[in-house]
Amino acid sequence: MILGAGIYSASDNFNSYIGKAITNACDGIFKTNIEDGQNDQSTQNNQVDTMLAKGASAVAVSVCDVTAAPTLIQKCKDAGNVPIIFFNKEITDYDVINSYENAYQVTSTGGDYGASIQAQMVIDYWKEHPEMDKNGDGKLQLVYLMGDPGHTASQPRCDYLKSTIEDAGIEIDLLAEDTGMWVTATAKEKMDAWVSKYGDEIECCVAGNDAMALGALSAVEAAGFNTDGEESSKYIPIYGIDALPEILSKIESGEITGSVLQDAKTQGQTIVKMAENLTSGKDAVDGIEGVEVEEEAKAVRVPYQAITKDNLDLAKSTYE
Ligand code: GAL
Ligand code: CA
C-alpha cells in the first residue's frame, strides 16, 4: 500500500520532523515518499494528482494554503473515495472537513496552539527571577516574533501569549512586534533591529516557533547577550514553540529559556495509524491510545508540553 504524503515546505523545520515521523511510522505498513510542496499550492496540487495516479490508498498533507483543502478533498473523492488526512495546518472551516466522510485532521491541542503553556513559562520565570524586571517598573518589556500571518496558528499564539500573561496580573509593555514568517533568518533580521534600538531594555523575547527563537538568539548573541546562558552579564529570556532537537542544547545551556513541545513523533504515528484504519474500513482512531476524534472538527489532537532545562529528556525522547 502507498501513503501519498506531503509537507507544505521542506524549509520548515517542524514540518520536516513530522515528515520524518510519518516515514518512520510507515515502516512495514505503507510505502511513502514525503513530497515538498515548496509553499506553493499548485505544486502541491500536482503532487497529490501524482500520488493518486500512482494508486495511493490514502493521502496525508500539511496543505500550503488552507483554502485549497476543498480542491484536495475533491481529488481524493474523484480517485475513488481515497481517505485524506490533513495535519499541522488546521482546517478551521469545519464544513469543509465535514463535506467528506473520509477527511480527517491530526493537529496539536487547543485553539491557543500552545501559547498559554508558553506564557505560563514566562510567568513562572518572572515570579522566580525578580531581576527579569530590569527597569523595576513592574511591567514586562516584551518583543514578539509572530509566525506567518496567513497561518491559522500565528495570531492565536500571539494573542494567547499576551492575554495569559496579563491574566496573571503582569502588565506588558510591548516594545516591538512583527512577523518573522516562522523563519530563522527573517526573525534574526527583525531582532537585530530591535536589539540595536532597545538593547538591554528588552526583558523578554517570545517567538511563535523555535525556528524564529533561534534567529532571535543569534541576533542577541551578536550583540553580546546570552552567550553564557543565565550567567551572562546581559540576558534576555527567549521562548519558542516546537521544542525542536536543534534548540534543546540551547535550553540546556540557558541561552534559550524554554519551549513548548509539539509532538511530531506522536502526530506522525497517529497520521499513519489513522490512514491504516481508514483504508481497512475501521474506525479512524481504532487502536490509537488515549485520543479521541473531536467530532465537529474531525480532529485528533496531540497535547503540547512545556519544556525547560528540567525536563529536556521528554523532548529528546520524542526525536530519538
Ligand atoms: C506550526 C509550527 C511552526 C510551523 C508551522 C507551519 O505548528 O509550530 O514551527 O511549522 O506550524 O505550518
Ligand atoms: Ca520592566
Nearest atom, ligand 1, residue 12 CA: 10
Q: Which pLDDT value is given to residue 110?
A: 84
Q: Which residues surround the ion ligand 2 when the cut-off is CB under 5 Å?
A: 133, 135, 137, 139, 141
Of 136, 121, 118, the C-alpha closest to 173 is: 136
**Which whole-number Å values give the CA distances from 252 to 187, 256, 272, 312, in the listed order?**
22, 8, 32, 8
Q: Which pLDDT value is given to residue 272?
A: 98
Cell of 72: 484536495
Gap from CA of 37 to ligand 1 centroid (Å) = 15
Q: Which pLDDT value is given to residue 292?
A: 79
In whole angstroms, give the CA distance from residue 48 to residue 4. 7
Cβ(86) to ligand 1 under 6 A?
no
Q: To which residue does cell 538568539 refer?
A: 217
Of 210, 201, 263, the C-alpha closest to 238 is: 210
The overall pTM is greater than 0.85 = yes
pLDDT for 271-311, tens place per residue? 999 999 999 999 999 999 877 788 899 999 999 999 999 99
Evaluate if residue 179 carries a pLDDT over 80. Answer: yes
Q: Answer whether 115's CB lies under 8 Å from 241's CB.
A: yes
Query: CB neighbours of 227 closer than 8 A, spacing ≥ 6?
Result: 221, 255
pLDDT for 95-152, tens place per residue? 999 999 999 999 998 889 999 999 999 999 999 999 999 999 999 999 999 999 989 8
In the chain, what percentage of residues exceed pLDDT 90? 94
* Ligand closest in space to the Cα of 175: 2
Gap from CA of 195 to ligand 2 centroid (Å) = 16
Gap from CA of 41 to ligand 2 centroid (Å) = 44
Q: Which pLDDT value is given to residue 150?
A: 86
In whole angstroms, give the CA distance from residue 208 to residue 227. 22
Evaluate if residue 237 carries a pLDDT over 90. Answer: yes
- Determine the average pLDDT of the residues in 79-95: 96
pLDDT for 306-320, tens place per residue? 999 999 999 998 887
In whole angstroms, give the CA distance from residue 121 to residue 145. 17
Q: Which pLDDT value is given to residue 223?
A: 98
Evaluate if residue 262 carries a pLDDT over 90. Answer: yes
Q: Which pLDDT value is given to residue 5?
A: 98
Nearest protein Cα to ligand 1, atom 7: 88
Site to probe by mutation for ligand 1, drawn from 63, 88, 181 as the one with most ligand atoms within 8 Å of Cβ, is: 88
Q: Answer whether 4's CB lies under 8 Å from 54's CB.
A: yes
Cβ(267) to ligand 1 under 6 A?
no
pLDDT for 218-231, tens place per residue? 999 999 999 999 99
Q: Which pLDDT value is given to residue 319?
A: 82
Q: Identity (one letter) of the amino acid at 54? A: K
Q: Which pLDDT value is given to residue 198?
A: 98
Q: Which pLDDT value is given to residue 271?
A: 98
Cell of 67: 483554502
